[in-house]
Amino acid sequence: LRVGLVVFGLTCAIEFGQLWQPSGLESVRGHWVGQVLLGSTFDGRDFLGYGLGLAIALGLESSRRSEDQPKDR
């Protein structure tokens, strides 16, 4: 749960960071590595994907935990 929420928080912070465009940060985004890591344009629809990814991760984690529980015989 903790890892999924941290990743969700970081991706949301990066997305909101795309609204902030100081010249130094724009020069980093001008390189392909900076653009891949930081993105270039804000799109609110991306939050849907982040939330869906979090829901899938939490579902998989919950499923894994229930499989790890000892079975009643």
| pLDDT at res. 32 | 93
| pLDDT at res. 43 | 95
Q: Give the CA distances from residue 67 to residues 2, 4, 60, 61, in Å, rounded to whole numbers and listed in that order.
A: 20, 19, 11, 10
> Per residue in 15-61, pLDDT tens?
999 999 899 989 999 999 999 999 989 999 999 999 999 999 888 88
Residue 10: half-sphere exposure toward Cβ, Cα within 13 Å: 8
Reduce the DSSP state of residue 14 to 3 states and report it: helix
With a threshold of 0.85, does the pTM exceed it? no
Provide the 10 A C-beta neighbour count for residue 8: 18
